[in-house]
Chains A and B, each alone.
Chain A
Amino acid sequence: MAFFVEAEARPADTAQQPLKVTAEQLGVKQGEEFEGGLDYDLGNMMACDPSPVDAERLRADPSLACLEMATRITQSLVARLFELPSEAAPVGRIAQLPPPTHPLPRHKPLPAARAPTRWEAFAAKKGIQKKKRPTTVWDEDAGEWRRRHGYKRASDAKEVPIIEASAEDKEGEDPFTRAHAEKRERVKAQAGRQLANAKASAKAMGARAPPLAAALPPTLQLAASLPEHGRGRPVKRREIRDDIKAASRQAGVSTASGGKFDAVLPGEKPGERAAPGKCKRPLVDKVADRSGTENTKVLGMVDKILRERADDILDVGRAVRGLEGERRAERSAAKASAADADEPAAKKRRPFPNSTKGQRFAPIARASAAAASHRMVVAGALALAMQSFSCGCTT
C-alpha cells in the first residue's frame, strides 16, 4: 500500500526528468586533456600516444615528464569513456564498452591439435567420410526398434539362443565359448591399437603433446618420451625424472604378488612401490600386537583431537565478564569524581567509606588468609617431621 501512496504523492515531472549536476556544483576541477592525437581502444580501456617521445624533456626530469604525460592521456581517455552512452543502475551509471580493437598476446601458446590416428590418416587418404549412425536399430527377432549399444540392445551377442552347426566346426568345440573368446581377442586387439595410436601421437607432437596419463601406462610413456635410437639429442635424466619414477613404480608392482616380497632397491623408499590410493590399513598389522606402538599411535591421535578442539584454553565468557567488570569500575569511579565536583547540586548515592565496590583485588591478597593458614599447617608438619628425624638421628 505504501508504494501506491508514494507514487501518487510524487509529482509527475520530477519522475521523468533525471537530476542534472554540473562539475562546478560538485566542486570538481577537470584536468587538461592531451594535445595531439591518441589511439583509443575503449574496449581495453587503453589510450596510446603514437608520436615520438620528447627525449629532452624526459632527460631533464623523467618522473615528472612521465607523470604529466600519463595524467593528460588518462584525462583524455576518461573523457572519452564518459562520453559513451550509459544507462542508470542501482550502483550508478553503467556504460557498455565497445569490443576491443587491440589484439593482446597469449600467455601460453595455442594447444596443438591432436595428431591423427592410423584410421584417420587412412580415411583422409582414401576420402572416406564419417557417417552418422542412428541410435536405434530395427531388431528383426524382437520385432521392435532397439538401441544400438547398451541395455536391451538390438542383436546382443550374449542373447543368441541357438548357434547352428556348420561344416567347418571342429568336433567337441563349444561355439559359445569360441564366440566369447573371439570377442575377447577383438577387444584386446582394439586396446592395443588405441595404445599404439596414443604412443605415435605422443611421439609426433613431442613437447606439446597433451598429458597421456589416462591413455598410456607409465612404462610406455617413458618409452615414448625417450628419443629414437640414433635420432634427436640424448635426453638428460632429470628431464624425464617423473616418467622414470612412474615407470619404476609400475614395474615394481607388476609382479605376481604385487611387488610385496621383492627386495627394496637401493635408493627406493619402502612405501614407494605401493600404488598411490586410499588404503584402509588398520593401526597395527597384527590383531594382538605386542610392540606397544598401538597405544602411542592412539594417544597421538587423541592429543591431536584435543588440540584441534581446545576451546577451553581461553574461556571467552570469563574474559568478557572480567572486561565488563573493569569498565563498570571505571564508570563508577568517573561518576564518583563527577559527584565530588558538583556535590550540592546532585545528591548522588556515595559508596560507604570502607567499600571495596568495583575494585579488583589481586588473587594473592584474597587467598592470603587461606594461604597463611595452609603455610602454618605445613610448617607445623615440617617441624614435627624434623623433630622426629633429629630424634631418630641422635638415637
Chain B
Amino acid sequence: MRPLTEEETKAVFEKLHKFLGKGIRHLVERSDEDHVLRLNRNRVFYVRESLMRRATNVARDKLVHLGTCIGKLTHSGKFRLTVGALDVLAQHAKYKVWVKPAAEMQFLYGNHVLKSGLGRITEATPAYTGVVVYSMTDVPLGFGVTAKSTSDCRKMEPSGVVVFHQSDVGEYLRSEDDL
C-alpha cells in the first residue's frame, strides 16, 4: 500500500470530475472523518484515515482489500473506474438516468441503455458525460457515459443507444475474481 503520486491523484480526480463535477470536493472535504486514497498493486482504494493507519500493519502482498476500491490504474498511468465506485458516485452524482423495469435486466447483463429503456434523464445533460444509472425505484444500478445530450435523446429513434455501459452491479456476480 502506498499513497498516490501527484499524477496518479490528478488522473483519479479528473475521471471522477466527469461524473461528479464540483462534487469531487465532497470526497476530500468531509464533515466526518478524513478519507484518503491509497494504492495497492494497481487498485486505488478510498478509505478513511483511521482504517488506513491500522492497515499499515498488514504486509503489502497479504493486503487484499481496503475500504472502498474505486478503480484501477493501468500500466500507462490511466485510471479506470470499477463498480466499487458506484456507492461514492451515487451519493454525489451530477447527472442521473432512470431506466424502465423492462430494461433493467438488460443493463445488469452488461448491455447499453437504449432509448426504449430510458425512463427519465436529468435536464441539460451534455453528451459524453458520466452518468449514474438508477432503476425507477431509485436504486443505483451502475454508471456509464451518455451517447447523446438530453435534447438529442428526445429526437432519437427507439433503438438508439442513450448511455454506454461502463460498470453495473451485476459485475459482482459476473466478474467476481476481477474485483
Contacts and interface: CB of A to CB of B under 8 A. Distances in A.
A288 B24 CA distance: 23
Contact of A301 (B2, B3, B13, B38): B13
Interface string B88-127: 0000000000000000000000000000000000001000
A303 B29 CA distance: 11
B14 A295 contact: no
Most chain B beta-carbon neighbours within 10 Å: one of A288, A295, A312: A288
Nearest to B21: A312
B123 to A, nearest CB: 11
Contacts of A274: none
A179 interface: no
Contacts of A317: 124
A295 B2 CA distance: 15
Contact of B25 (A283, A284, A306, A309): A306
B169 interface: no
Contacts of B10: 301, 305
A282 B56 CA distance: 16
Interface string A285-328: 00111000011001101110110010010000100000000000
A294 B3 contact: yes
A158 interface: no
Contacts of A302: 13, 24-25, 27-28
A1 B90 CA distance: 61
B154 interface: no
Contacts of A294: 3, 36
B56 A305 contact: no
B5 A282 contact: yes
A298 B135 CA distance: 34
B5 A305 contact: no
B1 A301 contact: no
B24 A305 contact: yes
B7 interface: yes
A298 B9 contact: yes
A281 interface: yes
B76 to A, nearest CB: 13
Contacts of A288: 52-53, 56
A347 interface: no
Given A295-B28, A306-B17, A301 B56 contact: no
A287 B7 contact: no
A298 B8 CA distance: 11
A280 interface: yes
Contacts of A298: 9, 28, 37
B37 to A, nearest CB: 8
B22 interface: yes
A283 B17 contact: no
B136 interface: no
Contacts of A303: 25
27 contacts: A280-B7, A281-B6, A282-B4, A283-B9, A287-B1, A287-B2, A287-B38, A287-B56, A288-B56, A294-B36, A295-B28, A298-B9, A298-B28, A299-B28, A299-B29, A301-B6, A301-B13, A302-B24, A302-B25, A302-B28, A303-B25, A305-B13, A305-B17, A305-B24, A306-B22, A306-B24, A317-B124
Given A283-B5, A295-B34, A302-B24, 13 more contacts: A280-B5, A280-B7, A283-B3, A283-B6, A284-B3, A294-B36, A295-B28, A295-B36, A301-B9, A302-B25, A302-B27, A305-B14, A312-B21
Interface of A: 280-284, 287-289, 294-295, 298-299, 301-303, 305-306, 309, 312, 317
Interface of B: 1-7, 9-10, 13-14, 17, 21-22, 24-25, 27-29, 34, 36-38, 52-53, 56, 124
